[in-house]
Amino acid sequence: MSGPKNTALQAALTKIDQTVRDEADWGAPAQYIPQLAAIDPAQFAISVCLENGAEYSAGQSDTRFSIQSISKVFALIAALGRVGDALWNRVGREPSGTSFDSVILLESEKGRPRNPFVNAGAIVTTDALLSGREPRLALAEIIGIVRAMASDDDIHIDASVARSEKATGARNKALAHYLDSHGNLDSEPELTLGTYFHQCAIEMTTLQLARAGRGLAGFANAPSVLPLRRAKRINALMMTCGHYDGSGEFAFRVGLPGKSGVGGGLLVIAPGRASIGIWSPGLDHYGNSKAGTRAAALLSNAMRWSVF
């Protein structure tokens, strides 16, 4: 049952949709994944879920997009569920200050990635989830968690995006083999990477994404997939590491935990208040959605949702 409608919130979303379309400062879609490079950047959607069950959207909120690195949040939830705190022996919890696919710190830090949201850390996280079983079972667990958190079984993987990334993903292959050389992969690099590329190719709408974030927002009525204590920790990682070397900038502008993906999606959490899904496929130079980040800042300001 949804609660009373918040007309100020709906008005803010409608205005933000209009503002980003008027500004038309879209950025460019990710170029290194051919399936994503072809997407028209002049697109925008935003959806918000509140604890009383009310839902709000503006723009193209029923268009599915590739969630890419936002999947790292759900894979982390799955991996922590499977191996618990032992995961932190293999991956750290510090911001990297480097780009999402950087190899620089792996050399000096002996194959232990800085955090689960840079690609190297996400590959290790997926490997922990995969260990000792077939990729389809690990993938079924990730997608099962996404569906449960979103209360929606109509969420799927676009295998053509996974194939597109596999064909061109030399950088991720290098990262996986480097991790393997340090003994930080349990499975063959190709198996772990195949699983990782498929999890990144999950497609969702902004409304499905906002619903999937309700547990992270700590809503009492969210599906009970994620204990509150774990939600707090994942929000902390999203705040400090969710936007790669643009994480400080995102915290400065938006003041909320968030996770971006190179498909142009953003999952933003206002703890105890709102779960927000945003999509606009053009990226800034960090690889984060340009209009999406602008929209998150406008919304946080309009609703006074910053945690600071």
Catalytic residue annotation = 69, 72, 196, 244, 262
Closest chain position to ligand GLU (CB):
69
3-state DSSP assignment of residue 108: helix
User: Which residue number, 26 or 100, has a Cβ lying nearer to ligand GLU?
Assistant: 100
Which is nearest to 300 in space by CA: 236, 235, 253? 253
User: Which residue in 261, 264, 277, 292 binds ligand GLU (CB under 6 A)?
Assistant: 261
Question: Is 194 a binder of ligand GLU (CB under 6 A)?
Answer: no
CB of 161 to ligand GLU, least distance (A): 9
Number of other CB atoms surrounding residue 88 within 10 Å? 13
Question: Is 246 a binder of ligand GLU (CB under 6 A)?
Answer: no
Question: Is 245 a binder of ligand GLU (CB under 6 A)?
Answer: no
User: Which residue in 172, 206, 235, 247 binds ligand GLU (CB under 6 A)?
Assistant: 172
- What is the amino acid identity at position 299? L
User: Which residue in 200, 204, 238, 239 binds ligand GLU (CB under 6 A)?
Assistant: 200
3-state DSSP assignment of residue 210: helix
Number of H helices, E strands in the chain: 13, 8
The residues, ordered by sequence, that sit 6+ positions from 33 with a Cβ below 8 Å of its Cβ are: 161, 164, 165, 168, 169, 262
User: Which residue in 141, 165, 180, 245 binds ligand GLU (CB under 6 A)?
Assistant: 165
Strands of the sheet with 65-66, listed across from one edge: 65-66, 202-204, 156-157
Element (H, E) at 225: none
User: Which residue in 150, 287, 292, 293 binds ligand GLU (CB under 6 A)?
Assistant: 287
Question: Is 242 a binder of ligand GLU (CB under 6 A)?
Answer: no
Binding mask 61-80 for ligand GLU (x = CB under 6 A): -------xx-----------
Question: Is 127 a binder of ligand GLU (CB under 6 A)?
Answer: no
Q: % helix / strand / coil in the chain, to the nearest 5?
A: 50, 10, 40
User: Which residue in 100, 219, 250, 305 binds ligand GLU (CB under 6 A)?
Assistant: 100
**The length of the chain, given as a count of residues:** 308
Question: Is 119 a binder of ligand GLU (CB under 6 A)?
Answer: yes
Tell me phi and psi for residue 204, to 5 degrees.
Answer: -150, 165
Check if the beta carbon of residue 284 is closer than 8 Å to that of residue 293.
Answer: yes
User: Which residue number, 165 or 245, has a Cβ lying nearer to ligand GLU?
Assistant: 165
Binding residues for ligand GLU, how many (CB under 6 A)?
Answer: 11
Check if the beta carbon of residue 288 is closer than 8 Å to that of residue 243.
Answer: yes
Question: Is 195 a binder of ligand GLU (CB under 6 A)?
Answer: no
Q: Given the rule CB under 6 A, which residues bind ligand GLU?
A: 68-69, 100-101, 119, 165, 172, 200, 261-262, 287
